[in-house]
Structure formats: C-alpha cells, structure tokens
Structure 1
Amino acid sequence: MTSLVLASGGEFVAPGVKDFFPPAIFGSVDKPMVLLVLSVIIIGTFFIVATRNLKLVPGKFQFAAESVYDIGRNSIAREQIGGKDFKPFVPLILTVFTFILVNNLYGLIPFIQFPTMSHIGFPLAVSVLVIYPVYHYVGFKRHGFVGYLKHATMPPGAPWFVLILLIPIEFFQKFLLNPLTLAIRVFAAMFAGHLLLLVFTLAGEFLLLNGGFTVVVAPIAFLFAIALTFLEALIMVLQAYIFALLSANYIGAALAEEH
C-alpha cells in the first residue's frame, strides 16, 4: 500500500484493492451481492411500472422505458444480429444492457458509491455463464458441429498454408479469449474509474483537514474528483452499451451464413 507523507506529519493512505472488498453484512453476504440482487429488483420494477398502463402518447416514465427498449432492440440487437434473426435475442440483449448499466451506475449514487462490476466475478459470470453458451449454442444449432467449427475458425478463401496458423488463433479467440475480454473490459473500466474517484476524493478531504498550506491544494483535488465523476458516468453508460453490443455481435457472427 502506497502512502503520501505531508510536511505536517499526517499520513495519507491511498485507497487500493482492499477498498473493493467491504465487510460482510451477514454471514458471507456482502454489499456487492446485495447490490446485485437489488439491481434485478430495480430493473424488473422499472419495466413493470412503466408498462402497466401504456398510452399512445407516452408519459415521461413510459418514454424512458421505450427509449431503453429501443436501444436494446434496434440499436444493438437488430444492427448486430440482423433483421432476420434478432427478435428471439432482444430480451437477452436488453436484460444484459440494463443489468450492466444499473450495476455500473451504483458507483455514482450517494451512500452506495460502489460499481458492482468492479468485482471481476460478476461480469465474468454474465459473460461465461450466459453469453458464451448462447452464441455457441445457436452457432452449433444452425451450422452443425463440424460446420460451426469450420465457420468459426476457417475464413473462406484463405489458402491452406495460412489456415495452419489461423485455425488455432481463431479457435483460441472464439472459444477462450472472447468471453474473458468481454468481462475484463467492463471490470477494468469500473475498477480503475472508481479507484481514481476514491484517490481524488479522499486526498482532497485529507488535504483539507490536514491544515497548513495543503488547504490551498485541496480544492484542486475536489475539482478533479468532480470532473472524473462526469467522465465516469459517461464511461459507465458506454461500457454497458459496449458489453451488450459485443454480446449481440458474437451471436450475430455465430448465426451468419458467411464468416
């Protein structure tokens, strides 16, 4: 653990990995687990309430729900999977998008301030246990076992001497690397962003309370924390969108007639 020692003798202990593992609330259940379950309740309640009294001219709440649905259905699923095959996968893509989004946005909510996806196990579970089986299943179902292996690892038109090198690379990417990078991307963004916010916020507080000349420097740390908050909000939304986009892209690639 690094530390910053100031002239007045106070010591600032920088936040680190330990701050992402809060103590258990009861038994082995901790804050991230509770937030994960709460996100499912929030998403379910949001769509149930927003759609229970649909109107031709939507109110603000219905409009918000329809906008989120439109992103999942048309901007992501239809574009990446294709107009012919996308409809059965709209619920999955919409669920993945909203689930990642809510768990990311926890990092900006006062008194919660913890993006659940900063724990690698959660995005990894969504990627490996949900998205990975789905896109390989639909690929095998459409093309057959041998056909899908050829579809996934052998680009059409490639000469045989290139395929010798290309097949193991493509196999490694499609069957091992894709689900890992899908999870690591959102995890790394949430972990790094939250850690930076902690550093500037806690450093600003420490500099302010430490007294002496450091009081003058404290507002700079707080200004950086505010700027990073807005940047982090944008990244949280983008990472949820990218996660859902790549998930749909993998499904679309598995279903495609051509590699």
Structure 2
Amino acid sequence: MLHPLAAASDSSGGFQGPSITEFFPQGLLFVGTPFEINRIMLARFFATIILVLIFVLGTRKMKLVPGRFQSVVELGLGFVRSSVANDILGKKDGRRFLPLLTTVFFMVLFFNLTGVIGGINIAGTSLIGVPAILAIVAYVAFIYAGVKKHPGKFFRNALVPPGVPWPLYIIVTPIEFVSTFVLRPITLTLRLLMNMIVGHLLLVLFFGATSFFFFESHNLFALFGIGTLAFGFVFTLFEMFVGFLQAYVFSLLTAVYVQLALNDEH
C-alpha cells in the first residue's frame, strides 16, 4: 500500500493517482493463512489498544472532582448518553442500551481516525468487514428489542402494518420486509464504508500530488504542490470531522432502529 506522502508516479514519470488497490495491502504476518495481518488489521489493533487504555486509565480511579483526563473521558461518555441514548430512547431504555451505543460510537470513531494518523494512514473501517459486523450488531439489537418488547407481534406488525386494506398487503408486505429487514443493515454498512473509502482516496490524491509536484515536477509546476498540500491539510481536518460524524450517525441510527422496535405500534 502506498503511503500518502510517497512519490506518486508511474514508470514514465507521470502522476499516478490512487486506486482501489490501496485497500488491499500486502500481508505482514501469517501471510496465506486465515489469520493474515496487514496494515488495516494493524490499524484496528492499534485503535483497539488505545481505546481500551483510555477507558481503563480514565475510569480506574475516578474522583469526585475529576482531573483533566477523567473529565475528557466523562465528556465523551456523557455525549453518547445525552445526545444518542437518552435523546432517542429516553432515560429508561437509554440506560439499557447505553453500553451498546457507547461501544459502537467509540469503536467507529477510533477506527475512523486511524485514517489521519501518520504511519497508519488508513481507516480501520475502510474494508467491509468491520462496518458489516457493526451493522449486524445493530440489526440484532433491533430484532432483540422488538421481540422482547412485543413477543409474538413484532414481526407481524412490522410486515403487516395495521390499518392497511387487505389487498394492498400483497404490495406492502414485501416492501416492508425489504426496507426493514434487508436494506437497513446494508445501508448502515455502505454509508460508513463509502465515506471512509472516499476520504482515504482524497487524502492519498492530495498528498501524493504534493510529493509529485515538489520532487518530480520541474520549474514553476512545483508551486502547484503548495496548493495540493494546503488542500491535503484542509481535507485532513475535514476527514477528522467526517470520522466523528460517521460515528455519531452510526450510533444514532442504531438507537433509532431500537426505538422503532420498542414503539408501541409494534
């Protein structure tokens, strides 16, 4: 996998933009086995270790008057509790599903941010595996909440909504099945995946072009490198914002799906 700051040129000396092969780096350990580890897996391991350390150290010896580090951890936890769990599900149900929503939010956030960390430069969510697993977790939580709250009626009311003239069920039921039980996990997966892919490709494009203009172009063309470097810096900040936004949206939609399953109409 090419580092974004590496020279981006082909054999003829021209500029070569990023490609989808960026997301299939060579294996580093256990190559050729089901346990092969590449740079994306290392990014995931790194994000997981940092995330665990932050919460272990931030909550191990909590004080009534928190220090700066504890305050930051509490701020993050409080954001998920107030802006996602309680805001969508209410205090009672929000407390029940808070561990799930907190895990989803911070996992997506930290995996996303590896894409802007020097030396890693690729998001842990930029391959379909992690987004798909998280979408399945959200899907299972949705089914669990609905079946537990409305045993025997959840699937019936989801597929056969009351108040619809019975001949229309021939059309409505397949639509409800596809939209509720098929498209939700797919769209949840693709929304996160596509944002991370596009963000990575843009960063590689700008920083690769910067390297090309500075080190391989001649005369005044090198000045274009200043512009691509500036755009690269701006898009790095934007990618950090997108990483946070996608974590918020993913956890928010998970809470929304759970709330729909708990709705009394089911």
TM-score under structure 2 length normalisation? 0.88
Amino acid at match of 1:141: K
Identity of counterpart residues, as a percentage? 36
Give the deviation of 1:161 after TM superposition.
4.5
Partner Cα distance (1:99, 1:56) in 2: 27
Partner Cα distance (2:182, 2:91) in 1: 28
Give the deviation of 1:173 after TM superposition.
1.3
1:149-200 alpha-carbon deviations (Å, 9 max, x no partner): 1332344434435443222111111111101111110111110011011101
Partner Cα distance (1:66, 1:127) in 2: 26
Of 166, 169, 177, which aligns to 1:171? 177
Which residue of the partner structure matches residue 3 of structure 2?
none
Which residue of the partner structure matches residue 142 of structure 1?
149
Partner Cα distance (2:91, 2:74) in 1: 19
TM-score under structure 1 length normalisation? 0.91
Partner Cα distance (1:140, 1:115) in 2: 35
**Larger deviation: 204-213 or 88-97?**
204-213
Which residue of the partner structure matches residue 207 of structure 2?
201
Which residue of the partner structure matches residue 85 of structure 2?
77
Which residue of the partner structure matches residue 218 of structure 2?
211
Amino acid at match of 1:253: L
Q: CA RMSD in A?
A: 1.9
Give the deviation of 1:23 after TM superposition.
1.2
Q: How many residues are matched?
A: 252
Partner Cα distance (1:257, 1:172) in 2: 22
**Larger deviation: 246-255 or 154-163?**
154-163
Partner Cα distance (1:5, 1:84) in 2: 57
Is the 8 Å Cα contact of residues 82 and 252 (structure 1) preserved in structure 2?
no
> Do structure 1's residue 48 and structure 2's residue 33 form an aligned pair?
no
Partner Cα distance (1:75, 1:161) in 2: 42
**Tell me, which stretches of 5 or more residues in structure 1 are unaligned?**
none
> Do structure 1's residue 61 and structure 2's residue 61 form an aligned pair?
no
Q: Which has the higher contact order (CA 8 A, sep 6+)?
A: 2
Which residue of the partner structure matches residue 29 of structure 2?
26
Partner Cα distance (1:150, 1:80) in 2: 24
3-state SS of paired residue (1:55)? coil
1:72-130 alpha-carbon deviations (Å, 9 max, x no partner): 222111122223322121111000100000000011111111111111121111112x2
Of 238, 241, 258, which aligns to 2:245? 238
**Tell me, which stretches of 5 or more residues in structure 2 are unaligned?**
1-7, 31-35
Is the 8 Å Cα contact of residues 47 and 111 (structure 2) preserved in structure 1?
yes
Is the 8 Å Cα contact of residues 153 and 170 (structure 1) preserved in structure 2?
yes
Partner Cα distance (1:157, 1:84) in 2: 30
Which residue of the partner structure matches residue 159 of structure 2?
153
> Do structure 1's residue 250 and structure 2's residue 261 form an aligned pair?
no
Of 221, 229, 240, which aligns to 2:228? 221
3-state SS of paired residue (1:127)? helix
Partner Cα distance (2:255, 2:53) in 1: 25
3-state SS of paired residue (2:62)? coil
Of 118, 121, 126, which aligns to 2:129? 121
Alignment of 1:179-194 (within 5 A): 179-194=185-200
Partner Cα distance (2:71, 2:247) in 1: 20
Is the 8 Å Cα contact of residues 204 and 219 (structure 1) preserved in structure 2?
yes
3-state SS of paired residue (2:91)? coil
Is the 8 Å Cα contact of residues 197 and 229 (structure 1) preserved in structure 2?
yes
Which residue of the partner structure matches residue 4 of structure 2?
none
Q: 1:220 to 1:143 in 2, by over 3 A?
A: same
Moved over 4 A (4+): none
